[in-house]
Amino acid sequence: MQTNNGAVDLEQSGNNIVISGNLDELVAFESSGGAGTHKWIGLDVGTNLDSIVGATWNGYAMTQADVDEASSVDLGAGHIVF
């Protein structure tokens, strides 16, 4: 994912985020969450919570698996990989 993150540009204006890049430069790899092989990038969403377990994201209750996913890319407590 870090290789792909380095191949895109991110612009933020308030709550709006625009991600742009050349799709041909991205590398396909398998998702750690079982979502298949695609050209993934990842966003670090900091929540300011001590733990995301039990928090909801678009109606989905976050679990320890979400904490583990964030930890796998060196993100600390309260962070979500999106």
Q: Has residue 13 got a pLDDT over 70?
A: yes
Task: Give the whole-angstrom CA distance, residue 33 versus residue 63.
Answer: 12
Query: What is the DSSP annotation of 12-74?
Result: EETTEEEEEE-GGG---EE-TTS--EE-----EEE---S--TT-EETTEEP-HHHHHHHHHTT
| 27 and 62 part of one domain | no
pTM over 0.75: no
Q: Quick one: pLDDT at residue 64? A: 96
User: Predicted confidence band at 1 (pLDDT cuts at 50, 70, 90)?
Assistant: low
| 53 and 71 part of one domain | yes
| 78 and 49 part of one domain | yes
What are 18's two structure tokens? 């625009």
| 4 and 30 part of one domain | yes
Q: Tens digit of pLDDT for each residue in 49-69? A: 999 999 999 899 999 999 998
Q: Which residues contact 3 (CB under 8 A, 6 or more apart)?
A: 27
Q: Has residue 32 got a pLDDT over 90?
A: no
On average, the pLDDT of the chain sits at 91
**Residue 16 structural domain:** 1-41
